[in-house]
Amino acid sequence: MPKQIILAAHFPGVNNTTVWSDPASGSQIDFASFVHLARTAERGKFDFLFLAEGLRLREQRGQIHDLDVVGRPDTLTVLAALAGVTTHLGLAGTLNTTFREPYELARQLASLDHLSGGRAAWNVVTSSDAFTGENFRRGGYLDRSLRYQRAAEFVQTARELWESWAPDAVVADRAAGRYLDPADAGAFAHHGDQFDIAGHFTVPRSPQVHPVILQAGDSPEGREFAASSADAIFSRHGTLEDGQQFYRDVKSRLARYGREPDHLKIIPGVTFVLGDTAAEAQERAHHIRRQQVSPQTAILLLEQVWNRDLSGYDPDGPLPAEDPRPDDDSIIKGRTRLTDDPIVTARRWRALAEAKKLGIRDLIIEVTGRQSFIGTPQHVAESMDHFVQTDAADGFILVPHLTPGGLDEFVDRVVPLLQDRGVFRTEYTGTTLREHLGLPAARPLPVVAA
């Protein structure tokens, strides 16, 4: 049997990928939007639905960013509600370890796992961001070097809590009047650098025992953390070659943790545009890119590279002649910067703009966020299958550009072709997300990387 593709649906987020100006764009808050996307994904036999998280509204030039979708509901609460309108779909939430405590988050996730019949997943992120910390008790400052230490110890602690009830701790023998055996069900003690806690966990062992762990960081520390602790990586490697290199690198790190290559799934986030012909798909892709990059957004994205106020520039005019000021205080808060080497990027962009006679907006459209898969349903199905069969990925997290209908066309037109190729399920064969993903049942507590 050929390698089977994993498919997940990302609820459209709060960056300019999500087009809100289109007449077909619906609410990012109404529960009906979440129900629509979740049911579409389940109709398409997807593995899971993915929610991102925001804990402080983004700012640029010291003001709340107003050009993209702003605001979203609380991740865990939406996932629990979605468990009530779906039966098989995995429910994955991004949840920050910097602004939460293991006891509380572990019980929320274990509760979600019970209430969904074993469909919970957690995308572990950390933040060293004092800006976001202004909304929280701990104030949020965490030294960058401690980010993965906290994340790894957080996950380790959560696993200890999830295992604190033995599988047979609840005997519930009415005749004998014995509910628990033994008396210390849920007892735990964790004494570490980040967390020093002890007591009793409230939630008996959940169907998956360990909800599925996802990880999204791409740094060497992030890769190592994924190799030690995660079940899947939400990666960002869009090209075949990058994907294959990343895939080899990460899978090669597993052995030292006693794990099989198959026990860590690599699922890049990707976008797609379909058309009846290749030309039509390209045309739609360009139209969507123009919607994603409004004149105002073009200036804002340019500011993220130049790191200064460019609000006086004409979106259809030439790029700034001056170089960026990467060493000044970042003008963007609550979000990572677009690029690592702004001076080099700026020079490359200027050269491209001159060569192709592009104004600022057209340049931005040219250099940012091109969709990953563009073409006829046949072409997209083939390309995705090729990606997976040549080990550039184990599957994809699809990021639609429209809420809530952005996945409809994919499910109607591409999924059947993947099924025809024998690389995607036609029915769910398991009930838990671990079963969908072909992951082993809860694995033993990992060794944390030194």
Partner 1 sequence: MSDPTLHLAVALDGLGWHPAAWRLSCAEPTAPLHAHWWSGLAAEAERGTLDLLTIEDSLALQSSRPDGPDGRTDQLRGRLDAVQIAARIAPSTRHIGLVPTTSVTHTEPFHLSTAVATLDHVSGGRAGWRPRVSGTSAEARHFGRRDIPGFDPHRLDEPATVRLVDELFAEATDAVEVVRWLWDSWQDDAVIRDVATGRFIDRDRLHYIDFTGRWFSVKGPSIVPRPPQGQPPVAVLAHAATAYAFAAGQADIVFVTPADAGQAAEIVTEVRAAEVAAGRTGPPLRILADLGVVLDETPTLARRRRDRLDDLDDTEHASDAAIFTGTPALLADLVADWHRAGVDGFRLRPAVLPDDLTTIVRALVPALRDRGLFRHRYPGGTLRDLLGLPEPVNRYAAPSPA
Contact positions with partner 1 (CB under 8 A) in 53-72: 54-57, 63-64, 66-72
Please choose, out of 132-140, 366-374, 415-423, 425-433, the segment that lies near partner 1 by the rule CB under 8 A.
132-140
The residue within the footprint of partner 1, chosen from 146, 166, 197, 448 (CB under 8 A), is 197
355 binds partner 1 (CB under 8 A): no
**Pairing assessment for the beta strands 395-398 and 265-270 based on DSSP bridges:** parallel
116 binds partner 1 (CB under 8 A): yes
What residues between 224 and 283 interact with partner 1 by CB under 8 A? none
In angstroms, what is the minimal distance from the CB of 136 to partner 1?
A: 5
Place of tokens 């639905």: 49
Distance between CA atoms of residues 326 and 88, nearest Å: 47
Burial class (CB in 10 A: 0-12, 13-18, 19+), 357: exposed
| 432 in Cβ contact with 211 (< 8 Å) | no
**How far are the Cα atoms of 138, 214, 226, 402 from residue 142, in angstroms, in the given order?**
9, 21, 20, 35
Using the minimum distance from each CB to partner 1, give the nearer residue, 184 or 323: 184
Distance between CA atoms of residues 405 and 267, nearest Å: 22
317 binds partner 1 (CB under 8 A): no
| 326 in Cβ contact with 343 (< 8 Å) | yes
| 56 in Cβ contact with 72 (< 8 Å) | no
List of residues 6+ apart from 414 with CB closer than 8 A:
272, 274, 377, 380, 381, 384
Residue type, 339: T
Burial class (CB in 10 A: 0-12, 13-18, 19+), 373: buried
The residue within the footprint of partner 1, chosen from 46, 122, 154, 165 (CB under 8 A), is 165
The residue within the footprint of partner 1, chosen from 2, 182, 317, 440 (CB under 8 A), is 182
The residue within the footprint of partner 1, chosen from 1, 172, 321, 355 (CB under 8 A), is 172
In angstroms, what is the minimal distance from the CB of 25 to partner 1?
A: 8
183 binds partner 1 (CB under 8 A): yes
Using the minimum distance from each CB to partner 1, give the nearer residue, 294 or 372: 294
134 binds partner 1 (CB under 8 A): yes
The residue within the footprint of partner 1, chosen from 3, 39, 114, 286 (CB under 8 A), is 114
What residues between 5 and 64 interact with partner 1 by CB under 8 A? 20-21, 29-31, 34-35, 54-57, 63-64
168 binds partner 1 (CB under 8 A): no
In angstroms, what is the minimal distance from the CB of 230 to partner 1?
A: 23
Using the minimum distance from each CB to partner 1, give the nearer residue, 75 or 372: 75
